[in-house]
Amino acid sequence: MSLAQQRVKKLQSEFPRISEFYAANLWRMKLFYESYASNEKLAPLVREIGWKHNIVIQQDSVEQDCKFYVSSTF
């Protein structure tokens, strides 16, 4: 069992009412954090965008495109 799957099982046991804990989502959360944590201008903006929008932006975009799309949202 991978580390992500172990984390999912632990989160599911700690938060049984939340059903969105999947290994793929944990990887997306990690990517999200790594993409924006060091960017002081974009970090506050991406918090205002819905999770689905962030996934779409990150799936098909290179870093410069992500910055453009996030900045253009506001």
| Three-class secondary structure assignment of 35-69 | HHCCCCCHHHHHCCCCHHHHHHHHHCCCHHHHHHH
- Spatial separation of the C-alpha atoms in residues 25 and 2, rounded to whole Å: 14
Under the banding of pLDDT at 50, 70 and 90, the label for residue 66 is confident
Average pLDDT of the chain is: 83
In the three-class reduction of DSSP (H, G, I as helix; E, B as strand; rest coil), residue 20 is classed as coil
CB atoms within 10 A of CB 35: 20
User: pTM for this structure?
Assistant: 0.63
More confident site: 39 or 63 = 39
Q: CB-based burial of residue 36 (10 Å sphere; 0-12 exposed, 13-18 middle, 19+ buried)?
A: buried
- Tell me what pLDDT residue 74 has: 67
